[in-house]
Structure 1
Amino acid sequence: MRFYISLKQKTCLFCACLLFILTNCNKNKTTSAEGEYITKNELLTPLEKLELNYKETLKKAFESLDKLQEESKHQKMVVHYKVARKQFKSIEPILSFIDKNNYASLNAPNLIKVMEEDATDIKILHPFGFQVIEELLFEEEKDLEAIKTVAKKTASRLKLLYNNTKLRFKDYHILWLIRNQIVRIATTGITGFDSPALGQSLKESSWIYQEILHILKIYKENFSDPELMQSWEKETQASITFLNHDFDSFDRFLFIKNHINTQLALMAKIQQDWGVKFNVTLALNHEAEKLFSEEAFNMKYFSDYRFEMNNIDTKIAIGKKLFNDKRLSIANTMACATCHIKEKAFTDGLQTFDKHQKRNTPTITYAALQQSFFVDARAGSLEGQIVGVVTNHGEFNTNLKHLENVVKKDAYYKKAFDTLYTRGGTDMNIRHAMASYIRTLNKFDSKFDRNIRGEENTLTASEKNGFNLFTGKALCATCHFAPVFNGTVPPNFLDTELEAIGVPVKNDTINAKISTDLGRYNQFKTPQRKHFFKTPSIRNAAVTAPYMHNGVYNTLEEVVDFYNRGGGQGIGINLPNQTLPFDNLNLTKSEQKDLVAFIKTLTDADFVKKLNRV
């Protein structure tokens, strides 16, 4: 049977077929009311869009590293590296949030990493990742095969992430990772921490701001107040404009004061606008609007999780009393306060306390805001550190049972511990009360803090320049991280770093010999850890002389001169594993004076009178 079709029917059929073809050719596109094309991606949920963008950027990063491996010319390798690096920095907000360990490995400095769980489990990890590639690319004698080897391993890790990533974010995760990234920019991003050769930290921070804005635009439907989104767009552009500057003369003080503070305040408003609730708080409080503030930190995170936090104010008061109680030592002659004198910012002003001690007494102000204790990092908590003091023959020279007996025999202590703690005056509870007191000694009440928070405008040009040098050209902040200015790496505050800087046995720049104290090496006898010491806070440093683990330097000027020369190697000490990120700083005398002037602004109000007498 045949069917006959009229001309009109043929015309209609042709139009239908043409419409079908056009529809299928453009099946990924529709037209908006404004005549703009909207891709099929617009039909995805915000989380699906975020994951798609994240994985596409990951792919571009490892594809560029693959291209690098195919090159035989150095300059073309650099081009591919720069493309890969830009993609990596663009995914930094998400990757650093969902996979801290892989992010840290991919962005690790070109230094051997030693992992010491215990004496039977010591791992020596050789670095790879973007910083290692960057350093190898710009060495005087370039080993192209070594560069390709590291690039291959880095690309392989990125591919592994690409094939195994599934984002499972709630709305609060989005704001959490953005706030973390803002803090990372302020504390490591603008300091040169992870751009060792190209020195493009400011440019990279601009890329990240663009990515943060992109993420917020993906979630634009979450905003009930459109002005908040507009405010963020305006602030992003202002930050990018401000960052368009050369590294050495960039004004980090004004950037943090005028932009980072603004961004944190905006994030707090966006949290309220979105109506998000956080299921947990880690190192930083979600509502924090100023980074250089006591309110920025969640001290529970830095406390031993085993202890009850109820009645904490009373526990702190008991801990303070115990801190000053000489009965805790076997001879009833020494309390914590004997060496940690409040009027001296909880130090003693001596090179070493007595002939029994080899190391200088450090301040315990801001000591809580770290993850390891003692200068060799042998204790993992303040409670654990107290054990070392109690059992040390040159200090309390006793045992933990003695602490329990002191509390048990004192009616006031006994009643207090029986009331405050479920198990009463155990040694663990006694140590917790003392540690709780120490955790209150983070005041963020210095001249610098008040100025960067915008509460006063009293910094001199020299003091501001000192901060900008510290966090820029002088590279101090690549080890002493703001806002605590110690070695605990923000924004997660999970790890406290140790460094080998080559401290001499005495103040000698002609015939210098390294201190005989081997530091961290003494714990596990790991050769790669010889002369490694924990990076301390420089807060209140102006009133806590002498300096270094052996008290070798008496003034801040001497300390700055030591670093300016290039640490131990700069004064003739052979230290192959020295970790300073420079050979020497080439700071002028004026710049060195500015650094010292800045450090003096970090003295808390309680200790300023002593500073004025110095």
Structure 2
Amino acid sequence: MNKNILVVKAKTYTFGICLLLLIVSCNNKSETVDIKKLASTNEQVEALYISELQECIKHLERISISNASKDNVAAYKQARLHFKQIEPILAAVDKNNFKSLNAPNILQVNEEDATDIKIRNPFGFQVIEELLHEPELDTLLLKNVVSVTRDRIKLLKANTRIQLKDYHLIWLIRDQIIRTATTGITGFDSPVLGQALKESQYTTSTLLKLIDIYKDNFTSDAVYNELTGALKNGISALDADFETFDRYDFIKNHTDVQLQALLKTQDDWRVSFPFEMAISNTAKSLFDKQTLNVFYFSDYKSDTLNLKQKEVFGKQLFNDSLLSKSQTMACATCHIKDKAFTDGRTVFNNKQIRNTPTLSYSGYQQSFFMDGRAGSLEGQVVGVAENHDEFNLPMDSIVDRVLKHPNYKQQLETLYKGKRADYNIRHAIASYIRTLNDFDSKFDNNINGKAQTITADEKQGFNLFMGKAACATCHFPPLFNGTVPPNYNDTEVELLGVPQVPDTVNAVISGDLGRYDVFQTEERKHFFKTPTVRNIAKTAPYMHNGVYESLEAVVDFYNRGGGKGIGIHEDYQTLPFDNLDLTPKEQMQLVAFMNSLTDAGFEEE
């Protein structure tokens, strides 16, 4: 699956070091360890991990340029099987190596800042899979990619000692349950063979093995049986055809059931968590408002004292034109509430080149603006303030104005103790924006069992979105934006080949260079951040330049294969398909589903 992975801003969470400690060790590991005879759970997990790594290496070494194609594919499938078997553990103990080994077959661009831009060719399983299915085999490239992939796994095997606490294992299991529901069943990382459902069975089977290792932790046989039964039922449900698989049913009746059984498990174990990551420690449903921790996405996680009052203060500032030089523009001027915080225009005025993005759910991102140039909502406020075509007023001047407003000055002193006025003003506005995420759409309420009003077309539209139409390989549930679950560390940018005007005959790509303008990285021309699809029925027109007036037109663009399908040829286009081959009815069903994502109360005061 072609995907574009961009690290916009490196974030160091020092507490994450203890998530699952990977300690370098030069010990030689026995290949024939009897896992059950080992004394500790850590030794048993490590033995399981090492065993699967060794099997993976063995089958990678069977891939050779001298083999028949079918033999190489068979060897690859076995190597991939064992890689997926270790996915839950590897993704937890070493996120970076997991990401590299599972990277899409697309150039990797990491932009830390203007002086630290790294461009690398990908390696790993997805690359091997695509190479093995090319019409003409590039033997030299295949040999190199297989060698690099194998050697990286050998390095993992030689330098691994795993140490887990109980809460680490709970995190590991929860992450994998959500990874399966958000990327596993979508085909996100099975680009050619389409083995997404089978591979999801492999990863879930590893969870069962881990739980068996930790069986003595359970004080209740009923809780143990409920968790293992939920996972086994999920494995059975995954035994299905990719295109006809009912993902709506799977998430409602398996993912959520597994999450709820895991909650009972951590209660049974009396697990105490030292902190909370992106996914709540009490997540009970994929589409529940409490599932994701919005403060994980902020650089300022500790500033939650008097939060409700700060949100109210931020809303006042958001709606006040005092913050602009001419005092004729507020945040709310372009981000209108009854339009899901957009403005309904192609562009706001003749000074703008981009469509106004929605602010709903915008708090759940790791980069901001359509080109991802800001690393936080607080930082985005600075960009708006200092833009000559927007507020056109430096932050120090905004601070002066706010401090001269008696009510605002009093709130700053009361809520923030009068310190860091610049930051506090921005924090208040950002705090308000982080509340614009109700998760109470028709779709949410139905998949959570609060209503039974979803139509057959809306449900099928979701299944298409998550499957055949490949929408969810860029717009990840439950946010339906480009922030990648389950770690939520990266917000992706994509090159779609969006045209300047809605022309399918003589199409010319939009002149906006997008991400390129941030660091002038040639490989990032015309890349833009993947926005949320939530509330999309209220946010027309669409795309970064507002080129499409309707969702039907957007779906048609994707169905044709993006820019490539209308004659726009860009080397780095990230859409993975030539066309989607969706029928008119399927396109209608996709639109019906997206219309069901409108929050019930976002227009209300």
**TM-score, normalising length from structure 1?**
0.92
Query: Is 1:459 the counterpart of 2:454 in the alignment?
Result: yes
Question: Does the residue aligned with 1:398 lie in a helix, a strand or coil?
Answer: coil
Aligned partner of 2:131 among 131, 136, 157: 136
* Alignment match, 1:200: 195
State the shift of 1:143 in Å.
2.1
Structure 1 alignment gaps of length 5 or more: 1-27, 29-37, 610-614
* Alignment match, 1:231: 226
Select between 493-502 and 295-304 the one with higher mean Cα deviation: 295-304
Matched residues, number: 573
* Alignment match, 2:40: 45
Query: Is 1:127 the counterpart of 2:127 in the alignment?
Result: no
Return the letter of the residue paired with 1:321.
Q
2: CA distance, partners of 1:563 / 1:142: 29
* Alignment match, 1:249: 244
How do 1:458-537 residues align onto structure 2 when only pairs under 5 Å count? 458-537=453-532
1:172-215 Cα distance to aligned partner (Å, 9 max, x none): 10111000000000000000000001100000111111110110
2: CA distance, partners of 1:500 / 1:607: 30
2: CA distance, partners of 1:443 / 1:473: 28
With over 3 angstroms needed to count, the CA separation of the structure-2 counterparts of 1:70 and 1:112, relative to structure 1, is: closer
* Alignment match, 2:386: 391
1: CA distance, partners of 2:576 / 2:270: 44
1:543-576 Cα distance to aligned partner (Å, 9 max, x none): 1000000000000000000000000010001211
* Alignment match, 1:334: 329
How do 1:354-393 residues align onto structure 2 when only pairs under 5 Å count? 354-393=349-388
* Alignment match, 2:24: none
Question: Does the residue aligned with 1:480 lie in a helix, a strand or coil?
Answer: coil
* Alignment match, 1:292: 287
How do 1:525-564 residues align onto structure 2 when only pairs under 5 Å count? 525-564=520-559
2: CA distance, partners of 1:41 / 1:242: 29
1:237-257 Cα distance to aligned partner (Å, 9 max, x none): 211221111100100000000
2: CA distance, partners of 1:42 / 1:565: 57
Select between 326-335 and 62-71 the one with higher mean Cα deviation: 62-71
1:404-448 Cα distance to aligned partner (Å, 9 max, x none): 112210111111111211443611110000000000001101000
* Alignment match, 1:21: none
Return the letter of the residue paired with 2:375.
G
State the shift of 1:298 in Å.
1.2
Point out 4+ residue stretches in structure 1 off by more than 3 angstroms: 38-41, 422-425
Aligned partner of 2:68 among 59, 67, 73: 73
Select between 411-420 and 380-389 the one with higher mean Cα deviation: 411-420
How do 1:83-482 residues align onto structure 2 when only pairs under 5 Å count? 83-305=78-300, 308-424=303-419, 426-482=421-477
Select between 532-541 and 293-302 the one with higher mean Cα deviation: 293-302
* Alignment match, 2:8: none
* Alignment match, 2:590: 595
1:358-399 Cα distance to aligned partner (Å, 9 max, x none): 000010000000100000000000000011100111110110
Return the letter of the residue paired with 1:99.
D
Contact 1:520–1:530 at 8 Å: present in 2 too? yes
Contact 2:340–2:603 at 8 Å: present in 1 too? no
With over 3 angstroms needed to count, the CA separation of the structure-2 counterparts of 1:417 and 1:187, relative to structure 1, is: same
2: CA distance, partners of 1:148 / 1:558: 43
State the shift of 1:306 in Å.
6.6
Return the letter of the residue paired with 2:590.
L
* Alignment match, 1:31: none
State the shift of 1:607 in Å.
4.9
Aligned partner of 2:581 among 578, 586, 611: 586
2: CA distance, partners of 1:434 / 1:164: 46
1:111-140 Cα distance to aligned partner (Å, 9 max, x none): 101111111111101100000000111112
* Alignment match, 2:22: none
Contact 2:351–2:389 at 8 Å: present in 1 too? yes
2: CA distance, partners of 1:155 / 1:382: 41
**TM-score, normalising length from structure 2?**
0.93
State the shift of 1:42 in Å.
2.0
State the shift of 1:164 in Å.
1.1
Question: Does the residue aligned with 2:118 lie in a helix, a strand or coil?
Answer: strand
Return the letter of the residue paired with 1:169.
L
1:479-520 Cα distance to aligned partner (Å, 9 max, x none): 000000000000010000000000000000011000000000
Select between 68-77 and 170-179 the one with higher mean Cα deviation: 68-77
1:8-46 Cα distance to aligned partner (Å, 9 max, x none): xxxxxxxxxxxxxxxxxxxx9xxxxxxxxx957424211
With over 3 angstroms needed to count, the CA separation of the structure-2 counterparts of 1:536 and 1:39, relative to structure 1, is: closer
Return the letter of the residue paired with 2:131.
L
Contact 2:185–2:247 at 8 Å: present in 1 too? yes
Contact 2:338–2:603 at 8 Å: present in 1 too? no
Q: Please, what is the CA RMSD of the aligned residues?
A: 1.4
Return the letter of the residue paired with 2:157.
Y
State the shift of 1:451 in Å.
0.8
Contact 2:69–2:132 at 8 Å: present in 1 too? yes
2: CA distance, partners of 1:403 / 1:208: 52
State the shift of 1:62 in Å.
1.3
Return the letter of the residue paired with 1:527.
E
State the shift of 1:236 in Å.
2.2
State the shift of 1:232 in Å.
2.2
Q: Which has the larger radius of gyration?
A: 1
Contact 1:414–1:425 at 8 Å: present in 2 too? no
Return the letter of the residue paired with 1:513.
V
Contact 1:365–1:441 at 8 Å: present in 2 too? yes
1: CA distance, partners of 2:213 / 2:336: 54
With over 3 angstroms needed to count, the CA separation of the structure-2 counterparts of 1:71 and 1:423, relative to structure 1, is: farther
